[in-house]
Amino acid sequence: MEVEGQATSVKESQPPKFALPVDSEHKATEFRMFSVAAPHMRAFHLSWVSFFACFVSTFAAPPLLPIIRDNLNLTASDIGNAGIASVSGAVFARIAMGTACDLFGPRLASASLILLTAPAVYFTSIASSSTSFLLVRFFTGFSLSTFVSTQFWMSSMFSAPVVGTANGVAGGWGNLGGGATQLIMPLVFGLIRDIGAAKFTAWRIAFFIPALFQTLSAFAVLIFGKDLPDGNFRRLQKAGDKTKDKVSNVFFHGITNYRGWILALTYGYCFGVELTIDNIVAEYFYDRFDLKLHTAGMIAASFGLANIISRPAGGVLSDVVAKRFGMRGRLWALWIVQTLGGVFCIILGRVGSLGPSIVVMIVFSLFVQAACGLTFGVVPFVSRRSLGLISGMTGGGGNVGAVLTQLIFFKGSKYSKETGIMYMGVMIICCTLPICLIYFPQWGGMFCGPSSSKIATEEDYYMSEWNSEEKEKGLHLASLKFADNSRRERGRKEDSETTPVDESTHV
Amino acid sequence: MATARALLVASLVLSCFLLPCYGTVLFSSLQGTLIVTASPTSQQVLKAGVDKITVTWGVNQTLPAGTDSSYKTIKVKLCYARISQVDRPWRKTVDLLKKDRTCQHKVAARPYNPANRTSQSLDWTVARDVPTATYFIRAYAYDADDKEVAFGQTTDANKTTNLFQVQAISGRHATIDICSICFSVFSVVSLFGFFYNEKRKAH
């Protein structure tokens, strides 16, 4: 304990050196994509790669479904149910993951989940019926909750001016896995089959690739990652630098914040839609346009692969509009982009020829994925104490959207896939409207400026999550630092003093 | 950019004119002039990769000469019975043959000589990629333009009689099973190994 005490005092007089410029919480204020400097950029690369691996595993089955459905004698209903199962596991897992991050840190939380779901991917190779297929897809889908740990980790490592970008790039490059897998799996399957295996054996062997990738990425996270710029949770907790919070308090402050619920709903109609499309698009192109497995896979892949720029672009756009218009700009950008995504979804359902269908799909993917990035430009500001839980709720809401859309429009043979896609577009537009209801007293909402009835500050908003006892114990200090750093969300026209705000509307 | 677009439009328009040449044959327009018999008895279960089917086909000898003058090739296929098409839109029966998905597995393709009208037959080992389902056998006769002109099948017009089943291979091997289990156990054990290591380092 002597040593720990000494370390704290040394820290106060001599701040540790970081490769990137940092703010008062030691979060990086710059985002350098091609650096692997510890701890910030290293955490970035570890989190997006492990998240990518989880996406590859979760959506490894869809491109091979034309083979699997014959091997396991599946019906259209079986396939629909398995698709729903693959995204429903993560609904609650994401919320649990949020809380786990708040309590144990993103590194341990994500690596544990990844290693515990890897068996489900290995067992996919030995599935022999529609029930076992559904079960393995269900348990594999739990790994999608590493999304929450990714966003949490980025929000812990990167400061307000770049958090949207960091979240967007990490989320986007992870989501890329959903597209990459549509290319990788048919390729690996083809290779193994050409070596001489029967079709019904080749797809089974192919599943070892995503499974191994997942296992290895978890090892990398455990060995090379750090929870916070200053170190890992456990060590910091022992040194007194990181306070331990109570689950019930974190939970309470998360679920009572209505903004978390609204974002959960709207995220269901950008990310949830993305998951749904990942599940159905390969089969859609294969069956509707009579393409080869390989070709359908390539087209399906281009949807997910757009994530390499689209989601990061959403994050960047969020940060760019925030510089000028603050939080109000973030909200408007999110609403506009997501609504346009819904419009292109409707068009996709109406287009009947191959070429235009591909073009519309790509445009649709750009908008829908950018909306995901824009959502996580807003999430870090909803709560500081329950950041993990809010991220988890939003992420979980994404999966609920996927479950709902697949249940309503893509189960069995009630609607043809193209009609389902069109109706999904209508639902996107309707479920994006609640963004108009989000209001921050200190920054405003889409249609209202910041509160002028009383002087509302960032400190008031974030301190409202702590009661006076907790403040006496000093548990609120991290939130105070964050409040100070978040003053930028007022936009450029405001100055940083807590003076009565200007009534003039920018938008 | 503009020339590329013009080229694309032109090729799209031209391809529309090509459509009538291919893919407009309807199944209902075909004559049932072929007689096809197969060795599996009704309700028999065959194992994929192991069991053999002997298929015999030929033109109905009672038909007038010249009926088969345009036949150039006969293709024999394994087709799904109605029960195996339920809730499986990728096996749907559609009248337009280009879009029809009833017969997805090729058994054989043989050239046909109208001068020599005797039936032909062959032995076929059920392929290893044939799924578990109920089937019948159908043969199509093609003309010189590779268009269907006639057919024959082992079942009746309603596809209810004389159907047989195939039991597919599982595709699983002992090696795959063992590797799956070993790697899974390894993943979980290594996680706890890491935890233990962390706890040790913290003290």
DSSP string, B41-70: PTT-EEETTT-EEEEEEEE-TTSPTTTTTT
A355: chain B residues, CB-CB within 8 Å: 8, 12
B8: chain A residues, CB-CB within 8 Å: 355
B50: chain A residues, CB-CB within 8 Å: none
Distance linking the first and last C-alpha atoms of chain A: 55
- Which of A93-97, A119-123, B9-13, B138-142 is the most confident on average? A119-123
Q: Are A475 and A245 in contact (CB under 8 A)?
A: yes
Judged by DSSP in three states, A230 sits in: coil
Q: Which helix (H) or strand (E) holds A250?
A: helix A247-255
Are B194 and A73 inside 8 Å of each other by CB?
no
Report yes or no: A200 at the B interface, CB cutoff 8 Å.
yes
The shortest C-alpha distance from B168 to chain A (Å) reads 7
Q: Which helix (H) or strand (E) holds B71?
A: none
Q: What is the ipTM of this complex?
A: 0.82
Q: Whole-angstrom Cα distance, residue B81 to residue B154?
A: 11
Report yes or no: A449 at the B interface, CB cutoff 8 Å.
no
The tokens describing A462, both together, are 């974030």
Would you give the DSSP letter of residue A144? G
Rg for chain A, CA atoms, rounded: 23
Are B191 and A112 inside 8 Å of each other by CB?
yes
CA atoms within 13 A on the CB side of A426: 9
Q: Which of A4-13, A103-112, B132-141 has the lowest mean pLDDT?
A: A4-13
Q: What is the pLDDT of residues B91-125, one digit of tens each?
A: 999 999 988 999 999 998 988 887 777 788 889 99
Whole-model pTM: value is: 0.82
Report yes or no: B128 at the A interface, CB cutoff 8 Å.
yes
Would you give the DSSP letter of residue B88? -
Interface of A with B in 247-306 (CB under 8 A): 287, 290
Confidence of residue A472 (pLDDT cuts 50, 70, 90): confident
- Give the closest of B86, B176, B191 to A115, CB-based: B191
B171: chain A residues, CB-CB within 8 Å: 71, 198-201, 203-204
Q: What is the pLDDT of residues A229-266, one digit of tens each?
A: 877 776 666 655 556 677 777 788 888 899 999 999 99
Are B173 and A122 inside 8 Å of each other by CB?
no
Are A205 and B198 inside 8 Å of each other by CB?
no
CA dihedral A10, A15, A18, A20 (to 10 degrees): 170
Report yes or no: A426 at the B interface, CB cutoff 8 Å.
no
User: Which candidate, A500, A76, A497, A74, places its Cα nearest to that of A280?
Assistant: A76
Q: Are A346 and A422 in contact (CB under 8 A)?
A: yes
A212: chain B residues, CB-CB within 8 Å: 183
- Give the closest of B88, B184, B191 to A122, CB-based: B184
